[in-house]
Structure 1
Amino acid sequence: MASQDLTLTLSPAAAQRIHAIGKAEGRALMLRVAVEGGGCSGFQYQFDLVEAAQPDDLRIERDGAAALVDEMSLVLLKGSEIDFIDELAGAEFRIRNPNAKTSCGCGVSFSI
């Protein structure tokens, strides 16, 4: 399913953070990323830590860490990068989505 135009990548910082969370919890975890309707801009990102993939999940790997995304969300995330930002204002996973035309101030919701 993943063709060149549907590429989704995991940054080194995101991979490192997924490893750190798994190590702290003593189990192998993957980051599930999904897009849902809602938020102040139309769509919002949903992040969860899971131990197992769903049948329709695409697995994205980097440095032994994995992120999962379902086929429906992948269409809205094509060309995006899953990153982890640790700033003075807080630490969070963030999507760098070239398809988003607008986004809210907090970066959690967007429109296409």
Structure 2
Amino acid sequence: MDTLDAPPRIVTLSASAARRLAEIIAAEGNPALMLRLTVSGGGCSGFQYGFALDATLNEDDHVFERDGVKLVVDEVSLDLLAGAEVEYDDGLIAAHFTVRNPNATASCGCGTSFSI
């Protein structure tokens, strides 16, 4: 991919994801909490997404904010997530955070793993 065509090195939160994250943080009673999004090797498609609440920033973290809540992504994961959006889907069967990743060429049926 040409660098002119590369997605920006940002990850965004949708309005619904920011709203749900604010609810979760309020329920936890710790306003310092942030949503950490990581990518690790594994899953049925090669890489998998990981979500966790975290109150600690590491030296290589990038912080993205929307509506007063923060999303944290480490440098290595950001390379695989550049241009992605974290969405919150509140479906009939399950409610969960999902990643819409423009870098993924394929993903598994569960939506938690992808390949590039």
- SS at structure 2 position matched to 1:5: coil
State the partner residue of 1:27.
Answer: 30
State the partner residue of 1:14.
Answer: 17
Question: In the comparison of the two structures, how many residue pairs are matched?
Answer: 109
Question: TM-score scaled by structure 2?
Answer: 0.90
Mapped to 2, the partners of 1:60 and 1:90 lie a distance apart of: 26
For the 8 Å contact 2:40–2:48, the answer to whether it is kept is yes
Shift of 1:65: 0.5
RMSD: 1.0
Could you report, residue by residue, the CA deviation over 1:57-97 in whole angstroms, capped at 9, with x for unpaired residues? Answer: 10000000001000000000011001111101201111000
Structure 2 gaps of 5+ residues are 1-6
Kindly, what percent of the aligned residue pairs are identical? 54
Question: TM-score scaled by structure 1?
Answer: 0.93
Query: In structure 2, which of residues 80, 90, 95 is the aligned counterpart of residue 86 of structure 1?
Result: 90
1:68 aligns with 2:72: yes
Structure 1 gaps of 5+ residues are none
Mapped to 2, the partners of 1:35 and 1:86 lie a distance apart of: 23
